[in-house]
A and B are shown apart, each in its own frame.
Chain A
Amino acid sequence: DVKVTQSSRYLVKRTGEKVFLECVQDMDHENMFWYRQDPGLGLRLIYFSYDVKMKEKGDIPEGYSVSREKKERFSLILESASTNQTSMYLCASIRLADTDTQYFGPGTRLTVL
């Protein structure tokens, strides 16, 4: 079974702190994605990566950056957390030769105080 894991299920940070959210997949997938999910807004794509060291902005990249140094790991960075970044963050991955599904991690509920 494909497994996508995220470093934390729940995280509480203060305004201005630097926050790292990590995502790891164990199936050699090329594509990895970071979304945030908010009530009434659904999933919105923040960034995605189609290969090591490659990244593309999604629909809402402002205030975020990403890092993909290894194929299995995709990190989301909040350089200076703000209260409007309180949200559920979901990581996902997919292999291009297998476009049946996008596999999701369990999510990280981030609260910024």
Chain B
Amino acid sequence: ETGVTQSPTHLIKTRGQQVTLRCSSQSGHNTVSWYQQALGQGPQFIFQYYREEENGRGNFPPRFSGLQFPNYSSELNVNALELDDSALYLCASSFGGGSTDTQYFGPGTRLTVL
């Protein structure tokens, strides 16, 4: 059974650029959630996709957008990067979009914005 994978592992961008982060969910899972984890803080929920539809969104501006594909992999896109977007971005997959479903996390993508 393949776990959750994320690419790339590290990324350096400059302010104003755009970035796309990718996530492959665990086999059999149909839900992907994205989180931002700033240094020294806990993760913050960005949004969740369930069967290719957005199924909840946290307090992030519209320049954070996402997609989920028919194979349930997912992308997180961030436009007009700001310095504060520097963080570890975590993807988690689960079976079902419910609040009690166990989420399985990938190792994250470390984004640095200069």
A binds B: no
- A residues sitting closer than 8 Å to B (CB atoms) are none
